């Protein structure tokens, strides 16, 4: 190990590895669901789902996103620019009672 991977006591620093994305070989560990689905239900559509998931995760990493950050970016694209504090049905509608304005004589 390199000298920089040891702390002042001379022991390896493993807590730095806790922030890394869990991996199974070269794949993201979140793909284990698709591998498990393929092994339990060996069909063409599960294989296609596994290949599509692998390609999707590869594209996400290729663009520099982590998987949770990519989901957050997709959610913000769907939500749009304006995010009101209240849902539309909670806003009070404008009502004209007619007594706030008077006709100007003229």
Structural Rg of the chain based on CA atoms: 27
Per-residue model confidence as pLDDT tens digits over 26-66: 888 889 999 999 999 999 999 999 999 999 999 999 999 98
Q: Are 60 and 28 in contact (CB under 8 A)?
A: no
pTM over 0.95: no
Query: Tokens 């994305």 belong to which residue?
Result: 21
d(CA 50, CA 3) in angstroms, rounded, equals 40
In Å, what is the CA distance from 51 to each residue of 15, 31, 35, 55, 59? 33, 10, 10, 6, 12
d(CA 22, CA 62) in angstroms, rounded, equals 17
Over 90: is that where the pLDDT of 101 sits? no
């Amino acid at each position: 190990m390199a000298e920089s991977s040891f702390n002042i006591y001379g022991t390896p620093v493993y807590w730095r590895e806790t922030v890394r994305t869990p991996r199974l070989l070269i794949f993201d560990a979140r793909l284990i669901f698709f591998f498990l689905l393929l092994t339990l239900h060996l069909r063409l559509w599960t294989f296609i789902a596994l290949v599509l998931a692998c390609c999707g995760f590869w594209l996400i990493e290729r663009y520099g996103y982590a998987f949770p950050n990519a989901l957050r970016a997709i959610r913000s694209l769907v939500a749009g620019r304006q995010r009101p504090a209240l849902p539309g049905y909670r806003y009070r509608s404008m009502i004209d009672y007619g007594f706030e304005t008077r006709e100007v004589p003229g």
